[in-house]
Amino acid sequence: MSERKRGATRRAVLIGGLAGGLAATIKVVPARATPEQLHAAIRNVVGAAQVRKGRVELIVPPLVENGNAVSLVVAVDSPMTATDYVKSIHVFNEKNPQPNVIGVHLGPRAGKARISTRFRLADTQTVTAIAELSDGTFWSATADLIVTMAACVEGL
Amino acid sequence: MKRFAPSSRWLARAVVAIAVFAMVGPAKSTDIPLDQRRSGYADLGSDTKAMQDDDTINPASLWVLDGEALWSQKAGAANRACADCHGDATASMKGVAAHYPAFSPARNGPIDLEQRINLCRTDHQQALPLAFESRDLLALTVYVGRQSRGMPIAQGKDERLAPYIEAGRKLFTQRIGQIDMSCAQCHDDNWGKHVASSLVPQGHPTGYPIYRLEWQSLGSLQRRLRNCMIGMRAEPYEYGAPENVAMELYLMWRARGLRVETPAVRP
Amino acid sequence: MARPLINVPAKVKRGQVFEIKTLISHIMETGFRFTTTGGRIPRDIVTSFSCRYNGEEIFRADLYPAIAANPFIAFFTVATESGTLEFNWIGDNGFAETASAKITVE
């Protein structure tokens, strides 16, 4: 009788301890953006308009040394005059927890439709840049990037 | 059959003994020949190199600016700024970082640049020392270090430091941690090869404090060394511990002649 | 303490297209990181950046958690007249930072 009780207590302690141990060490992996979220984010910008490939140049390093900071340059072929210019440039990613990277609003005063920044990549994935022109058309370019992890995990 | 049994057993024991010795024996490594040494800069992608070379896009510039401001800020009970004793840092601090860690008569041993700044704070400004890896200490260290950019690292001339360089060498070549490997085994013997997808650098601290993309922040050499030890699943030495300073000193001596790159950018 | 870093050429010719480079100190905490005990670290990012040239907005960017820490943004503008470029960063938790730079157009 007492032995069974001890066993139950031990089991309870084990389960409690295991749960506690799991809570301390479990690493919840954040959800990554689904393809649907990516398409919804793009549709948010583009609406029902067709997106054509071209006129946009996405310049990224061929191999990413560290996903925490990746150089990004987006350049759009446009004369940037008062009647023919780039209204906005939007960059999207495929596998980060969230599909948007940056949304830039330009105008004829920009002179050149070229922006530079540094962004984060959670994993090897495709990056998409979409430009909206003053005539209402949308143009895009994509780039595939390979992201590697540091070999020695630091922890501090 | 009976005749072979003892000899094969002996052979088996000999093989085991050799294997055991190889596993627990001292890690034997040779120094990298001086003309084969290269900074981690050489292995960076062009974007990361550009980030380091261009002050207008180097994130470390934010800390350098802070350091410049702190240099002229009065501090402590003495109400004194660094500038009050040292004047214009671009002149007075030129070449200083290039020969740190240096021998401190006050401490009767080597101290690194962070400790030197804190010595100034406590002894000359009558202020509290700045915490290791605090924004202010990093800012002052990188600002002073920046004044040595482009100059060759100068170590090996001060005889007083010789025993400490030797102590640092011992730390560099001893196996540590659950992984049971020494710094030298990777960074002297296997530099240029890959661990998973990471290139093994020679590990010269030419640009500290560095902006490390992995940290998304500026950080000191001691931070990097502690993280290396954690990578080997070893207990790291505390910030400011003499072992850390000895390792810093040995590494700077090992990198003597290479150019200071502070503030460098590394993955 | 940590002030933004702005880089513009000191002098430009009228009509010249020149680059403006900006850097600001900010952790850009994504909101997707977790502590070892499972607690989520709350998001803390710069959400918007804009630039005005003598009062007129010439550039605006919406930033997301995917922008790297210590955000770097560079863009171009046409030199119209001498004056002041004003920069504005807005973010979570009431973050608001401004900077300005003079530009001489000859």
Classify domain B29-266 by CATH number: 1.10.760.10
A35 to chain B, minimum CA–CA distance in Å? Answer: 28
Average pLDDT, chain B: 91
Handedness of CA C6, C49, C70, C18 (dihedral sign): negative
Q: Cβ–Cβ of A96/C37 closer than 8 Å?
A: no
Q: Cβ–Cβ of A23/C62 closer than 8 Å?
A: no
Q: Cβ–Cβ of C70/B59 closer than 8 Å?
A: yes
Which tokens sit at A97?
């927890």
pLDDT value at residue B164: 98
Is the CB of C35 inside 8 Å of chain A's CB atoms?
no
What's the pTM value of the predicted model, to 2 decimals? 0.87
Residue pair A122/A96 in contact by the 8 Å Cβ criterion = yes
Which tokens sit at B117?
């700044």
Average pLDDT, chain C: 95
Nearest neighbour of C5 by CB, restricted to B62, B216, B217: B62
* Residue with more model confidence, B65 or A17: B65
pLDDT value at residue B112: 97
pLDDT band, residue A149 (cuts 50/70/90): confident
Active site residue B186: no
pLDDT in tens, B154-190: 999 999 999 999 999 999 999 999 999 999 999 999 9
Is the CB of A136 inside 8 Å of chain C's CB atoms?
no
Q: Cβ–Cβ of B267/A156 closer than 8 Å?
A: no
Is the CB of C72 inside 8 Å of chain B's CB atoms?
yes
- The residues, ordered by sequence, that sit 6+ positions from A14 with a Cβ below 8 Å of its Cβ are none
Asked whether residue B196 carries a pLDDT value surpassing 70, the answer given is yes
> Which residues of chain B neighbour A65 with C-beta distances below 8 Å?
44-45, 48, 213, 267
B219 to chain A, minimum CA–CA distance in Å? Answer: 11
Looking at the structure, give the CATH architecture of the domain made up of residues A35-147: Sandwich (2.60)
pLDDT value at residue A32: 72
> How would you classify the pairing of strands B265-266 and B210-212?
parallel
pLDDT in tens, A67-80: 999 999 999 999 99
Q: Could you tell me the CA-to-CA distances from A21 to A13, A28, B230 in Å, in that order?
A: 12, 14, 22
State the average pLDDT over residues C3-7.
92
| Exposure string over A30-59, b if 16+ CB within 10 A, otherwise e | eebbeeebbeebbeebbeeeebeeebbbbe
- The domains found in chain C, sorted by start residue, are 45-71+79-106 (2.60.40.10)
A136 to chain B, minimum CA–CA distance in Å? Answer: 33
Asked whether residue A151 carries a pLDDT value surpassing 80, the answer given is no
